[in-house]
Structure 1
């Protein structure tokens, strides 16, 4: 299968590291193409960043719409632009937060999220509500680790995430940890070994779910609100997309 991986921020090093993490769990024969927007912030750490990240996801989804991808994964824990990408693309589109929440709810009766900046916890809280996981998500914990510091994560950073996870497990009475940033993907295996509980990396789960949905030949429904975008004239820097929206 051919899998599109969209990193909603514009950090090329993080895009490469996310692609490597996805490739590590992908099945033989899965081709992963990783891309990021041509504009926007280098990291997503707030509502304004999230809004531009969503626009960047939409941009990349529209560019890829006629390239024959079997499925798409949005590699940011805020799932920015998820609905827009589902509208633009024919194959299934997965957000890593939704994928992580679903997996965590299967392997544990309660889980906690450990993420980067505390200011982004409200974004995760809203996603918990959107995905109907209020009864299983028992807490969301910020570490105030900057996203870009995860590009070259050292032992001190790993130790901070471990410590926050231990606090979350005890305080929330949780049985699993969800990592709240795609940049934490490479830390999942080591954290699981240290904590001795399921540690869920949404990127890995989304890749495997994308493969499963592709194998089952399930695609995004194109009746109702995920129907293809209407053809219309666009203006400004995005004028070219008006000609592309013909499906």
Structure 2
């Protein structure tokens, strides 16, 4: 049995339920998906400030997964917050939903556009596209200007569809990447309406983690992704010290 822990880095349980349903819908036989909500941090992640303060809760959820024997992890926020840090902490593979969606998009089309929530998050999406894909693969990032916590309302679907249609027409792209975990429920209907592949990163990341676990692949422990060096942390972050046996530092080796 393979256990995949899907971590919602924000603290909104209703969004975790949506994320978990999307992951379970694609998980294969013998795969158990555990969707968890961060125990600390912002209610939604819509800024660099939110993203930074979401990382401690994310890492605590990763460490808890290590103690309970999770085989791999999905970071279910399109900014992929804390991805590199989580890879240092986890023995199994860790995949971000933007990472998975963008890679998948390059396999089913020549170029993709991202449709995200607020305009202030478009820069982060551009940054990740440059990290994950070849130059020119991402033709544009478009915001529908709907707050993350309002995306669970089916009434907003026409606005998301309109942004996606504009993106396809303006960018000349042939794939749409949904730029928020909260949009996961729109994937199938948008694909039919638009007539192009529409990729939900939660589903893509779940299947990618599943594949990596099946292949027996883990994050390399050579140099950069080795467990963090043991040292004390002080103040509010004291429990995160990797030398604290009751903290959330590394708990098992690959």
Give the TM-score, by structure 1 length: 0.95
Moved more, 25-34 or 231-240: 231-240
What do you get for the CA RMSD once the two structures are aligned?
A: 1.3
1:182 corresponding residue in structure 2: 181
CA contact (8 A) 1:77 1:95 kept: yes
1:42 corresponding residue in structure 2: 43
1:160 corresponding residue in structure 2: 159
1:107 corresponding residue in structure 2: 108
Query: Once the 2 structures are TM-superposed, how far is the Cα of residue 36 of structure 1 from its aligned partner?
Result: 2.2
The correspondence of residues 49-68 of structure 1 with structure 2, limited to 5 A, is 49-68=50-69
1:33 alignment partner, SS class: strand
2:79 alignment partner, SS class: coil
Provide the rounded CA distance (Å) in 2 between the counterparts of 1:196 and 1:51: 37
1:217-243 deviations in whole A, cap 9, x for unaligned?
001111111101222222223323331
1:219 corresponding residue in structure 2: 218
1:84 corresponding residue in structure 2: 85
2:64 alignment partner, SS class: helix
Provide the rounded CA distance (Å) in 2 between the counterparts of 1:133 and 1:76: 22
1:1-34 deviations in whole A, cap 9, x for unaligned?
0001111111011011111111111112211111
Whether 2:29 is the aligned partner of 1:3: answer no
2:95 alignment partner, SS class: strand
1:236 corresponding residue in structure 2: 235
2:94 corresponding residue in structure 1: 93
Give the TM-score, by structure 2 length: 0.93
Whether 2:30 is the aligned partner of 1:29: answer yes
Query: Once the 2 structures are TM-superposed, how far is the Cα of residue 61 of structure 1 from its aligned partner?
Result: 1.7
1:200 alignment partner, SS class: strand
Query: Once the 2 structures are TM-superposed, how far is the Cα of residue 89 of structure 1 from its aligned partner?
Result: 0.2
Moved more, 50-59 or 89-98: 50-59
CA contact (8 A) 1:62 1:241 kept: no
Query: Once the 2 structures are TM-superposed, how far is the Cα of residue 97 of structure 1 from its aligned partner?
Result: 0.3
